[in-house]
Structure 1
Amino acid sequence: MGAPVILNVYDLHDNSWIYWCGIGIFHSGVEVYDVEYAYGGHEYDMSGVFATNPRDAPGPVVWRESVVIGETSLGAQEVQELVQQLGSEYKGTSYHLLERNCNHFSNELCTKLTGRPAPSWVNRLAGMAIMLHCLLPTSWVPPLSPPTAQPLLEERHAEERQNLLRDRMPSDRQQGSPVH
């Protein structure tokens, strides 16, 4: 028998008026081996994954409920290694309110630990907001971190520079003739 994997869900806002609609503004963390793992954004290019005591998330959050996802066959050390691996993918600078938030991390960790995802209602509001993204103020939803596109831009600029240099070279130099 393995260790239980529990999703702890917190209210980030007074959700009482929208919770009955099946949506809410939630934070989540995954509890396994008496440690809760969660993800948050920050300005440093290092892991945004952190560990807390179960049902004790930092910040102005209120614990709402715990959902048993299943059990993991991994040992405590293997779970820590998995969390560290995910931490290299979930950096503080890659946090995005709609497309890469704490609930995305929790869903991925639950899936890797048990083969079962987190309940869809936990991140439903982000999914709905993606569809209505154009209606939201840009200050609410900043673009994804620029470094994800930077290598492509650099490659494109390098190709453009090569094309410009090639086009400006005399035809005999393009053939590999020495320059005198």
Structure 2
Amino acid sequence: MDRTGSFPVELYIYDLSEGHASQLSLAMLGRQVDGIWHTAIVVHGKEVFFNGEGINSCTPGGTSLGEPLSVVDMGFTEVNAETFMDYLKSLAETRFRGENYSLFEHNCNTFSNEVAQYLLGKEIPSYITDLPSEVLSTPFGQILRPILEAVVVNPGASNITEEQ
């Protein structure tokens, strides 16, 4: 807690392609893509994210993805840890159940964006949320869609509905 009653919120950004997207995208897609983004929100000492197993949390930087490529200071929230956990559990039981995960339409970035709006009233950067539609708007993206939709990103962490 940096200010009285306020808690810092950060966006952790990972490149799942480990730099390959920026090297190959222009040739493959006909447009430059700087990364294949996985995001997580860090608040109250936890990194929270959504994948095919549902909403998960870990210590910041504690996923199998290692350290984030970048960290964006999003601002401060007045939402305390208990209220935030109740909110996450509600999401985990409804819109962000594991079976609702979709690489292009309902993914970690969709989750991070919704959580940022809840905590701060603002969205995560549009270059992250716009990436799926940019890729799918290319002919090669349409060819790859069925293959990529079978991919589930699992950075490894504990599911929030299983935490005590």
Please classify the TM superposition score into its range, dividing by the shorter chain length. 0.7 to 0.9
Change in Cα spacing, 1:31 to 1:53, as seen in structure 2 (3 Å) is same
Confirm or deny: 8 A CA contact 1:12 1:26 kept in the other structure: yes
The alpha-carbon deviation at position 87 of structure 1 amounts to 1.3
Note the residue ranges of structure 1 that are not aligned, 5 or more in a row: 43-47, 143-180
SS in 2 for 1:55: coil
Q: Is residue 2:104 matched to residue 1:106? A: no
Q: CA deviation at 1:137?
A: 4.5
Task: Please tell me whether residue 136 in structure 1 is matched to residue 144 in structure 2.
Answer: yes
SS at 1:14 equivalent: coil
Q: What does residue 13 of structure 1 align with?
A: 17
Structure 2 length-normalised TM: 0.73
1:87 matched to which residue of 2? 92
The structure-2 alpha-carbon separation of the partners of 1:55 and 1:78, relative to structure 1 and needing over 3 Å to count, comes to same
Of structures 1 and 2, the one scoring higher in RCO (CA 8 A, sep 6+) is 2
Which of these residues, 103, 109, 118, is aligned with residue 97 of structure 1? 103
Secondary structure of residue in 1 paired with 2:57: strand
Q: Partner residue of 2:129?
A: 123
Change (3 A) 1:135 1:61: farther
Q: Distance in 2 between matches of 1:41 and 1:17?
A: 22
TM-score, normalised on structure 1?
A: 0.67
- RMSD across aligned positions (CA): 2.2
Deviation track 1:127-157 (CA, whole Å, cap 9, x = no partner) reads: 2123345332522225xxxxxxxxxxxxxxx
Which contiguous aligned blocks of 4+ residues in structure 1 show a shift greater than 4 angstroms?
A: none
- For the pair shown, which has the larger CA radius of gyration, 1 or 2? 1
- Aligned residues of 1:69 and 1:117 also touching (Cα < 8 A): no
Structure 2 unmatched runs, 5+: 24-31, 151-164
